[in-house]
Amino acid sequence: MQVITSKDNEVVKDIRKLKEKKFRDEKNQFIVEGIKLVAEAIEEKTNIDSVVVCEDCVNDGSIDKKLLYEIARFKCVYVTEKIFDTLTDVSNPQGILAVINRENQKNNIDYSQDFIVVLDGIQDPGNLGTILRTVDAAGLNQIILSKETADSFNPKVVRSTMGGIFRVNMIKSENLVDTLKGLQENGFEVVVTSLNTNNSIYSVNYNKKVIVIGNEANGVSKEIQELADKKVKIPMLGKTESLNASVAAGIMIYEYVRGKVV
C-alpha cells in the first residue's frame, strides 16, 4: 500500500479543510471519525467518499480485520501517524476516519409523525449532538433546526450523535415562526418550556406535539413563546433554576417515550 507522508499532499490538504464549516458546505462533505462511527457509516450505507487509515493502526492490529475488509470496498487513503494527527479532531484518535458525501437533505416535514423536536438557536455542538442522539434513541427520524442553530456537521456534533446523524433527517428552517405555524395548521400543538407557568411537563399528553428547545443562554425566543399552545416547566426540587439544554430535551423526549411504552 502507498502511504502518504507529506502534510502538503493535496488529498491530505482537502480532508484537513473539512474541519471548517465553509469547506464542509462548499464540498458538501463531512468527516466521521473512529472505529464505531466508520463501521456505522458503512452499515447505514452512507455515501462514503473515502476512508483514511493510519498505517500504524493497521500494523499493530488496533483496527479489526473485519472492518479493514469492509473499508477495502472504498477508496482508502493510508497516512503516517504524524499526518493522521493533523486530520483528527480528537485527543486520542483510533486511526481511522471517513469522508462522507452529504446527501441532499429532505427539507419536507413528515406530518404523519406524532412528536417532533425543534431546536431554537442551540449553539453548543455537544448539546446539539446529544439531542440528535436522544432523538434517534427515541425512534424519531426527524428534527427541525432554526437557521441560528449550530452546524449539524461540526465534528463534535457528529461524534456526539454516536451514529444518530446517519438516521435522523435534519430539517433546516429559514423562518422558525412560519414553520411552527405550518405545524399548527397540520394539527400539532407547540409546547415550550418556560419558568412563567405552573404547568408541569408531566401534565401534557405528548401525542401530536412539537416541543421547542431554546438557546442555552436565552431560552425559547419571545416570538415562539407567544405562539406556543402550551407552556410547561420541568419541576426542580433543588436551587438550580434551569437545566442544560440537552438534559431538558432528553427529559421531555422520554416523556413521549414513556407514553408509548407504559
Averaged pLDDT, groups of 10, the chain, 262 residues long: 88 95 95 95 95 86 86 94 92 93 82 96 95 96 96 94 94 96 97 88 93 92 94 88 90 92 70
Same domain as 137, residue 232:
yes
The enclosing domain of 217 has a CATH number of: 3.40.1280.10
Number of domains in the chain: 2
For 184, the domain range is 115-261
Burial class for 71, CB neighbours closer than 10 Å (0-12, 13-18, 19+): buried
**Is 240 domain-assigned?**
yes
Query: What does the pLDDT read at residue 217?
Result: 87
Is residue 109 included in any domain, yes or no? no
- Whether residues 183 and 226 share a domain: the answer is yes
Please state whether beta strands 142-146 and 169-173 pair in parallel, antiparallel, or not at all (unpaired). Answer: parallel
Q: Kindly state whether residues 61 and 132 are assigned to the same domain.
A: no
Q: Which helix (H) or strand (E) holds 53?
A: strand 48-54
